[in-house]
Amino acid sequence: MKRYCIAANWKMNKTIPETRDFLRAFLPLVKDIKDRDVVISPPFTALSAAADALKGSGVKLSAQDVFWEEKGAYTGEVSPAMILDAGCSHVIVGHSERRQYFSEDDVIVNRKVKAARKAGLEVIFCVGESLEEREAGRTFDIIKRQVETGLAEVGPENLVVAYEPIWAIGTGRTATVEQAQEVHAFIKKVLGILYGNKAESLRIIYGGSVTTENVDNLMACEDVSGALVGGASLKAESFARIVSFK
């Protein structure tokens, strides 16, 4: 049976007090859920406070980004060791907002994945096509390039792949179960070429306007092993309902 991974991505939302309030409400709602991985990704400033509040809960902590160097003159950047030090076990790498607003290309994403993995972090590696690319029939080419370059010289351990069609992120426009399943099956095939039968246990999670209404159907897809949730993860009750999908 697959072990699902449901991860919240808070993006640039929530102060330290707001993070504590969220967890005070959220943790009791999910305390009996043991058969799936639950991850929250607050902004850097709230990681330590979240780590304290999560102690003993089983809920895991992720950063939303990481730099590839270990230390030095890189103003504003945060190293993999610093993220571990703040209490994280996970980090999101290659989110489309990083690619879009901060010019991260596949080579940069690959450096980040390698550095995070070397430090012992589990990586939630994001890929996804834009609307323009989908409409031009380029979805599979784009995904293949992102996976092959982003995961070059990276083994299959401690890796979760997130498929996030850009046109579905924060837009309220979710991929249909057929669209999600089709791309997940394709990613599985590409990972199979990279990793052979070691790819079979790799989880491919879906992100893009996941809500309490659509989560049950999306999670029922054969090759969908979890969700990366933005907007609907900001309220304790709605994220708890998503985590408790049937």
CB of 179 to ligand PEP, least distance (A): 15
Query: In whole angstroms, how large is the CA radius of gyration of the chain?
Result: 17
Binding site for ligand PEP (CB under 6 A): 9, 164, 169-170, 207-210, 228-232
Q: Which residues of 134-156 are buried (b: 16+ CB within 10 A; e: fewer)?
A: beeeebbebbbebbeebbeebeb
CB of 196 to ligand PEP, least distance (A): 29
Strand partners, 93: 125
Tally the C-alpha atoms within 13 A of residue 120's C-alpha that lie toward its C-beta: 8
Residue labelled with tokens 């080419």: 141
**What is the rounded CA–CA span in Å between residue 9 and residue 121?**
17
Concerning whether 95 is annotated as a catalytic residue, the answer is yes
Give the type of residue at 41.
S
CB of 180 to ligand PEP, least distance (A): 12
* CB atoms closer than 10 angstroms to residue 121: 23
Minimum CB distance to ligand PEP smaller for 78 or for 229:
229
Which of the following is catalytic: 95, 104, 122, 133?
95
Minimum CB distance to ligand PEP smaller for 116 or for 205:
205
Minimum CB distance to ligand PEP smaller for 42 or for 208:
208
Minimum CB distance to ligand PEP smaller for 6 or for 210:
210
Which of the following is catalytic: 97, 104, 122, 164?
164
CB nearest ligand PEP: which residue? 230
163 phi/psi in degrees, rounded to 5 = -95, 115
Kindly tell me the burial class for residue 111, based on how many C-beta atoms sit within 10 Å of its own C-beta (0-12, 13-18, 19 or more). Answer: middle
CB of 230 to ligand PEP, least distance (A): 2
Which residues are the active-site residues? 95, 164
